[in-house]
Amino acid sequence: MLNFLSQITPIGQPNVKDKYNPFAADADVASFKHPPTFAAGFTDRLDAGIDKFADNLVDPRPIFKNCGFYRDAFANGGKDHKQDLWMYAVLGTTFMENGRVYAHEISKGHATYTPADTNAMFDRKVAERHDLGLGYPQCSTIQGAGCKTCATCPLRAKGKSPLNIRPTPKVTATVSPAAGDGPQADPSFVDPFSEFVGPAFPLDILPPTLATFVDAEHRAMGADPAAIAMAALTAVAGAMHAETQVRAGDGWWEPPPPLVDELITKTYYAIVDRERSDSKA
């Protein structure tokens, strides 16, 4: 027995265990020494840290394709724009990829256009975004400044901004036949492991702050924007409590309607019933 034990732990040598290392063998330990990209302090604001996504610019192509205001400005160089409409148009370009180029494209048709004035307006709006927290110019604001194409625009009723227009994600689903001659399973909206065949998430209905966040994370991670949007909405919903209020307009705040709890409850039990029926099938 003593001979056996001496083979495991030689006599005279202490049984020293390897030092605990929380990292995997191939981990880049040096990368953990760098500070975080941003640090949100103690705050009661739900949008804390969201400003780190302010420089993630949107794709202008679907905006110029689907928004009559920007489409006409691009076609005629903004020749009919008054000062306030031009100001809102240029503000929108500061949120776009290659925004300065587009600012000139939608300005060069006006009789008083100069490259210097357009550059100055673009720089001014970039500064106001930083200093005043300016967000996307809203459709209602653009219409109020005299845009006539907004009156017949189908997007106006959504109460958003042209900058909320995003490329439409293509949703495709391929259901592979199972082996054998048995009945094939129907696509499921409940099973998280099956191929999802639901409709595309309407990203244009998100508030500007969440839309910017979703777009930034989609570009950074490559994940489906619909999945990021649902996760963001879930996080916001989880942060709400009985005293949370929703801003319905300037100076107009409302508590969440009591119907929300009822809708969540009914939805939950509908999913449970569907899972039970599927399990019995």
177 Cβ contact list (under 8 Å, min separation 6): 184
Burial of 22 (0-12, 13-18, 19+ CB in 10 A): exposed
Max CA pair span of the chain: 102
Q: What is the pLDDT along the chain (281 residues), one digit of tens a residue?
A: 556 555 555 555 555 556 666 666 666 667 666 665 545 455 555 555 555 445 678 899 999 999 999 999 999 999 999 999 999 999 999 999 999 999 999 999 999 999 999 999 999 999 998 888 888 898 989 999 999 888 888 887 777 889 988 877 655 555 555 545 555 555 555 554 555 556 677 777 888 888 888 888 877 777 778 888 888 888 887 777 767 777 766 777 777 666 556 666 777 777 777 778 777 76
Domain boundaries, the chain: 61-164, 203-280
Contact assessment for residue 94 and residue 58, using Cβ atoms and an 8 Å cutoff: no
d(CA 63, CA 142): 14
Spatial separation of the C-alpha atoms in residues 80 and 78, rounded to whole Å? 6
Of 67, 73, 86, 78, nearest in space to 163 by CA: 67
**Rg of the Cα atoms in the chain:** 28
**Residue 252 host element (H or E):** strand 252-254
Is-contact 228 220, C-beta < 8 A? Answer: no
